[in-house]
Amino acid sequence: MFRILPPLFAAFFLVTLAGCYTAPRPVVPYTGDPVVDGNANLAVAPEQDKALWEYRIAAAALRRGQTAEATAKLDDALARTAGALAPGAQAAKSRKLFGREETKPFAGEPYERIMGNYYRGLIYWRDGEPDNARALFRSGQFIDSDTENKTYSGDWVLLDYLDGLATRKLAGDGSDALARARASAQAQSRPVPPDYDAKANVLVFAEYGPGPLKYASGEYGELLKFTVDKSPVAFARLTVDGRTLELPPYDDVSWQATTRGGRVMDHILGNKAVFKQRSETVGDVALVGALGTAAYGTGKDSQNLAIGLAAVGLVSKIMSAATQTQADVRSWNNLPRYLSFGALRLAPGEHAAVLTFHNPAGRVLANRTQNFVISVPAPDVTTADADVLGDIVVIRSDLDN
């Protein structure tokens, strides 16, 4: 009888060590081009990760001026996200004891979803549809409205500010949104955005500093946490035609990521972790009991008891090992930390612009300076809409393209 136990333990260790086999991901050749590499990864990514790759590609493409690519990827990612959020089998599976959270289709944490809306909104504005841009800024603020602590609910400064600016440009008022933006800025001790200039025809969107990344904490990796790297850039400044436009950090994406409070999923993972711990303890106790009984017990009853305890111990240990407590740490890993905005009036023509990034001491980080040209087309006097020429949207990033 006692010969049974060693093979059982061996089987247990094999199972534990082997874990669950997953097919290896195809190797994607690295070219250093984030859009090319992103698309190569997207092609081989599992279905649940497609939106994640699309978001990453979109951000890289937008920074390089590949707006069509960014639009296509954002549209698809936002549609996938909307679909993922509805109750579905995959999401339900990720809540189960033996289901991993990362098997659910990626929709991102709220700050990631908001950034998807924000970027798409910038493109709508660039395409002459400020009301659709405003719709996405409103959706972004709506996504942020269910924080655990209501102090941090719907407190993105730029989303409200741009909502109001779009409204003002569409012959509306926009003062409510401006007041909300300023209140959020003051609550976060951030720079207060200026009054609107509805006649400003060049809108500059700047971003700098590395954005938040996720990691799993807790004994069983059940806690979702964020790493927030210190940004070497504290603010930016645009100089064009001898004029200076300050681009301070109106929004901190890391602040937004870390002020949402607990998730419902955290409770689910917490319960899984408790189960994992308890089943592991039960397994340990049962296996030690089985060994003790096997070593010191005599007679048929002892043998049966040892087998029973070993069975309970093994099943408990296997259940514990199979319980998936890891928080989903898939991150939109090329987001910025700070978002800024400035508006100015420029006459038709070519304007040389210099964008400088500054450290907290105000010193220019020379290796990050960007020189570029802002082209303002002349109004087409042959059309009836000559007086409603769209805004020029400039998107500049300190992050690697």
Q: Is 389 in the site for other proteins (CB under 8 A)?
A: no
131 is a site residue for other proteins (CB under 8 A): yes
Residue 307 CB, shortest distance to other proteins, in Å, is 5
Residue-wise burial string across 23-36, b where 16 or more C-beta atoms lie within 10 A, e elsewhere:
eeeeebeeeeebbe
Q: Contact region for other proteins (CB under 8 A) — 10-18, 31-39, 230-238, 347-355?
A: 10-18
Binding other proteins (rule: CB under 8 A), the pick from 17, 27, 86, 381 is 86
Cα separation, 376 vs 347, whole angstroms: 7
Pick one of 2, 30, 98, 215: the residue that binds other proteins (CB under 8 A).
Answer: 98
175-187 helix and 157-169 helix, angle to the nearest 10 degrees = 160
Closest CB to other proteins among residues 34, 116? 116
User: Under the criterion CB under 8 A, does residue 314 sit at the interface with other proteins?
Assistant: yes
Would you count residue 280 as binding other proteins (CB under 8 A)?
Answer: no
We find the least distance from the C-beta atom of residue 332 to other proteins, in angstroms, to be 15
Rule CB under 8 A: say whether 184 interacts with other proteins.
Answer: no
73 contributes a contact to other proteins by CB under 8 A? no
Single residue of 10, 44, 68, 92 touching other proteins by CB under 8 A: 92
Chain residues 143-162 in contact with other proteins, contact rule CB under 8 A: 145-146
* Residues numbered 186-245 forming contacts with other proteins, rule: CB under 8 A: none
Q: Does 70 bind other proteins (CB under 8 A)?
A: no
> Which of 238, 204, 169, 249 lies closest to 342, judged by CA?
204
Task: Select the span of 5-13, 187-195, 198-206, 239-247 touching other proteins (CB under 8 A).
Answer: 5-13
Q: Which of 17, 89, 347, 366 is the binder for other proteins (CB under 8 A)?
A: 89
Near other proteins by CB under 8 A: residue from 6, 83, 348, 349: 83
Burial degree of 130 (CB within 10 A; 0-12, 13-18, 19+): buried
Write the DSSP string, 121-134. Answer: HHHHHHTT-HHHHH
* 128 part of the interface to other proteins, by CB under 8 A: no
* CB of residue 1 to other proteins, shortest distance in Å: 6
Q: Which is nearer to other proteins, 91 or 238 (CB)?
A: 91
CB-count exposure of residue 59 (10 Å: 0-12, 13-18, 19+): buried
Binding letters toward other proteins, positions 316-345, x by CB under 8 A: --xx-xxxx---------------------
Which of 162, 191, 198, 190 shows the shortest CA–CA distance to 178? 162
- Return the DSSP state at 221: S
Q: How far apart are CA 372 and CA 335, in angstroms?
A: 22
User: How many residues belong to the site for other proteins (CB under 8 A)?
Assistant: 67
- Stretch of residues binding other proteins (CB under 8 A), selected from 53-61, 193-201, 300-308, 343-351: 300-308
Nearer to other proteins, 240 or 290 (CB): 290
Contact 156, 141 (CB under 8 A): yes
Bridge-based pairing state of the strands 243-247 and 235-240: antiparallel
Q: Give me the sheet containing 349-358, strands edge to edge.
A: 243-247, 235-240, 349-358, 370-376
Confirm or reject binding of residue 11 to other proteins (CB under 8 A): yes
Residues 201, 392 contacting (CB under 8 angstroms): yes
Among 28, 40, 135, 200, binds other proteins (CB under 8 A): 135
Q: How many CB atoms lie within 10 A of CB 67?
A: 17
Task: Give the dihedral of Cα atoms 334, 216, 93, 27; nearest 10 deg.
Answer: 50
The dihedrals phi and psi of 283, each to the nearest 5 degrees, come to: -60, -45
Q: By CB under 8 A, is residue 175 in contact with other proteins?
A: no
- Among the residues of 259-298, which ranges form H helices? 264-296
DSSP state of 151: G
309 binds other proteins (CB under 8 A): no
The verdict on 306 binding other proteins (CB under 8 A) reads no
Which of 303, 315, 320 shows the shortest CA–CA distance to 11? 315
8 A C-beta contact, residue 93 and residue 133: no
Q: Rule CB under 8 A: which residues touch other proteins?
A: 1, 4, 8, 11-12, 15, 20-22, 82-96, 98-101, 103-104, 107, 120, 124, 129, 131-136, 138-139, 142, 145-146, 170, 263-265, 268, 300, 303-304, 307, 310-311, 314-315, 318-319, 321-324, 382-384
